[in-house]
Structure 1
Amino acid sequence: MLQDIRSASRSGWTYIMVGVLIVVFAVFFGAPLDGCGSATQRALVAKVGGEDLHTDDVNIIYNRTFGGQRTVDESQIQSQQAVALRALLMIHVMAEKAEELGLRVSDDELQAYIKDPLNNFEFLYAYGQSGSFDGPFYKAYVQNQLRTPLPKYEDFKRRELLARKYVSLLEAQIQASEWEIRELHKVRNESVTFEYIKLDPETLMDAIQVSDEEVTAFLAENKEVVEKYYTDNKADYEDAEEVRLRRIFILKPGEAEGDDKREEAAKKFATAKTRVESENFADVAGELTEDFAKEKQGLMDWSTLENLDQNIAKAIADAKVGDVREVETDFAYMLVKVEERKEAKVTPLSEVERDIAGTILKTQKVDAEIKRMADALLAAAGSQTDLQAALDSLKPAAGEDGVRPESPWDALSVAVAQDVTLEGQDLSALLGRPMPGLGRPWDMIPGIGKSKELALDVFKLTEAEPLAKKVYQVTGSSFIVRLKSKQEATDEKLAETRDELALEIRGTKISQLLGSWPALFSRPISNFGEPVTKYGPVLEQMLKDAIEDKTVRLFEANYPAATRITTPPEEAPEIAGLEQLVQ
């Protein structure tokens, strides 16, 4: 049927090149693997509808994906087989769906598809960079690299093209709604500028004082609270053992520097060992050591054993003050002398209980003062034109001498959040994989922190009612917020960007619903080299249903990797929600 594809050739030279390139594949990419057993062990792997799938069907995807890898790990091989089998099942289930809808693939379509370098993965990698079809090479590549008969391969490509048609039908049904377009337009083009006052406990700590009498009274009434604080923070009152060392450090030359240099270093180290037996260690270190401490005659700073080079720590573990230990690593010869040692120490509660009581009492006073100040600020802001006027109104008046006394209000200031939008910065989408900590979530407000409540509430403020009616708590601090200006999302701007927004929303929905479906028709490997094991909730549900209703039957006894074909239930995301749009 497709004989012209198989026999097309430019010249006899092609036949020579076929043999050469097969050798090249074997040398540089590894001999093709029969991921499903040898050709003489052809076994039934699965049934999809009325069609049998054998090991040589799985070979097509297995070898174009993992054929260049060499592994003897049975578990890894089975994982790779499961990836290839899952992709094969997906393709055949979608092909079945396509046929149920009356879709077909003509011989002309198949021939064009196989020759298409943009859609046929094997063409892209098998025929080199010439961009022209080569019949003999095509035949040799399928039989020798993919390890499958040519008719079997061409039947697979027909099913693959049917599956592509079905995906195209699914994609065509996914569109951006008017609400989604307007909501994304609003999220992207509506912005607010607002002023705020931050009441930070750490900032106010210096402005709040506690007296000795208050500490004494608090300690008398709260012994158990102090003891619990001490127990919960025991590590803060423990000092690890520390040592101060002096060392002679002689660098070992690398092999590239030659035997003479290495021998010279060894002799220098031997000389150092001899001299420290009769001379002052510090004098010898000042003359011979080659490290940063030469000017200090090899004297090093105090350090815990944990922070030392572990070769040194192990050598001096039982050494007394004055002892010298010899240490050799891959990079240096060392003589290490213990100059001083400080034993590990635990500060008893009796020595720190007043400090702890003062810390707890001060924290309680700061928290109470912040609540009082925040409530006063909110009340004052309701009758003032801006937050600075509200803050100034609460500061003590100047005395007769014209000097205003200091107060906790002096620790506060007004800040401005400029042009804040609800559009985040999602680097996970840009990089094609989850990237926790990268990008800016939509509810991360510059200068304030992450607060979904505040991020949404500032957009509800208006020129008529610019003051937020509550005190917001964000990462341990209190905030008073007032709107300064608001930029509305206009219909004129929407008209200019409507098509772009619709395309973006549609692309996001396709990605969320259908997942990494293009990998089915190339290699089921992500951009980061990881196997694709899930293809989005729509396709996963399709495979799950096919297995449950017996459209797909797996023969696990014939093919152990089939036991790894799992389809955990996954709900489709709510595409049109605000959080999905802005994130």
Structure 2
Amino acid sequence: MLQAIRDRAQGWIAWVIVGLIILTFALFGIDQYAKGDKSVAVADVNGESIDSREFLTLYNSQKVRLQQQFGDMYDTVVQDQTLREQVMDALIESKLIEQWANEHGLLISDPQLAAAIQAAPVFQKDGKFSDEQYKQVLANNNFSVARFEYEQRKFLIENQFKGLLSSSAFATSAEVEQLAKLQGQQRDINYLRVDQRPFFGKVTVSDDAIEASYEKNKADYIEPEKVKIDFIALKKSDIAKTIEATDEAVQAFYDENKSLFATPETRSARHILIRTQPGVDAEAALKKIEEIKAKVDAGEDFAELAKENSEDPGSAVSGGDLGNFEQGMMVPEFDQAVFSMQEGQVSEPIKTEFGYHLIKLEKINERAVTPLAEVRDEVIAKYQAQQAERQFFDLLEQLNNIAYEQPDSLEPAAEALGLTIQTSDFFARNGGQDEITSNQKVVNTAFSDDVLKNKLNSTAVEINPDQSVVVRINEYQEERQKPLSEVKDEIKTQLERKAAIAEAAKLADELLVKLGQGETPESLMTNGIEWNTIGWVGRDAQNLLPQMLQEVFKVAKPADKPVWHKYQLPTGDTVLIQLKAVKAQELTAEQSEPLKQAYSELTANAELSARINALDESAEIEKKAVFETIK
């Protein structure tokens, strides 16, 4: 039951993501509708088309969002074909809901639409809807009021469709009680582990078995196509090493950038805090802080008063001492007060989001610039980095130009810029092992038509902000079937491990029989057989592998004596789980309420998924091949 709930939860999350996609579609990137670009159908849903502009709008917005999220890892993490399929499926679902809504008279009235738009903060000014702001935001995003309101109406209808289902979902007390008992259930277990490793030296694998396995699984031993590349790397750090740092240049850089080598002004202070609570009259706190201020003015020790009265647990024990801090590190009101005071001065009561403070400024540590002699190496490094930054882009442009103008060799570019041509090891489309060939942009470039088929130099590929490379193919190795002689040892190891696992499982069966005959687990321990006493575990136990814990909760409850259950771990070891007892931990009403809400939401999601699946199964849907490549 719990696994089913987890499965439903995944569906619920997926639908929320679809909803976010639809919202993104409603709010961003609609400008292509107004441009009159030529459009083709990318899918037909019950005779209605989804056109390429609609597909590309959502596809591009999702691609940009994912590129921002994953950065340089985008090409590794996101498969373009998968993204296209997800976008297409989202649009098809949207179209199915739209058709169902039209068929059943689901409408969004003008007042409903207006209320939704007016409630959006992006269209508000000073907390109120602004027609001027509304039109300006739409204009900035290059689409018309009519188009936006059409898309927003469609989005609200889809929300209404989902709301019809979710509003009818509920969880009965019996269901919640059963779920709570399952969720809070604990089990008393131990286990006997049979390690497969001792059998490795005892099993034998014949040459015939190795050959048979090879013939059966030949596809597993196909080596993909590979390339070896030549490349020129342009690095800012290498450029920096070539820059001469004369005494005059270093002095000038130091003088212009003294702030980089200065210790900022800091101040040390003590404070006394009397907290205020949200929604509670603050007069009592103000009165108390004023009484303390009067005691300070009368000559009482500030630190002692802080120990006795301050409600800041972090500093009260040390007499309100806050140590040294720079400007901007405290909340604005506190910061402004401290950095406008003189040493020894005590402030008036200062109000912040935490409450009322009295502040005593203990010491001002003036800003100090470190002499050049003490930071000369650091100054030189920063100067060279600055000059390298300036030269890098000029050299990169030269590199690109020469590599393009003389595309059949890297030598002219290397010679002109004083760089070295390097050669990689072979790597496949999943990348190599070094910094260059493991970069997905380099991999994509190496296997591109221009570089691989036409044997041209590439344009510069950015590895990171410090380094770019230009590549060309050095050698190409076609996909090949590895011969048996090359993979024989690998297959032998695989078969030996498989046989060892089987022997461990066989021994576990024998041990299970002995346990059933009354032998104790401790008496069965020998080399590779280990008895583990665990005790009570819940579903969130950390002392068992997650897969084993899941198996523990599948074992049938014992009746009058412990039961044994055989399970093979992902490692290949076999365990015999002893389940001694089961108990349910009662949850309080407060703990059960979130379960009730979650169960209701999951029920709603299950109904929604079923309704979408039914619409999908009864619909005539045709995806056009063009959606896989259109740009």
TM-score greater than 0.5 by the shorter chain: no
Q: Which has the higher contact order (CA 8 A, sep 6+)?
A: 2
Greater C-alpha radius of gyration: 1
TM-score using structure 2 length: 0.39
TM-score using structure 1 length: 0.42
Q: By percentage of residues, which structure has more strand?
A: 2
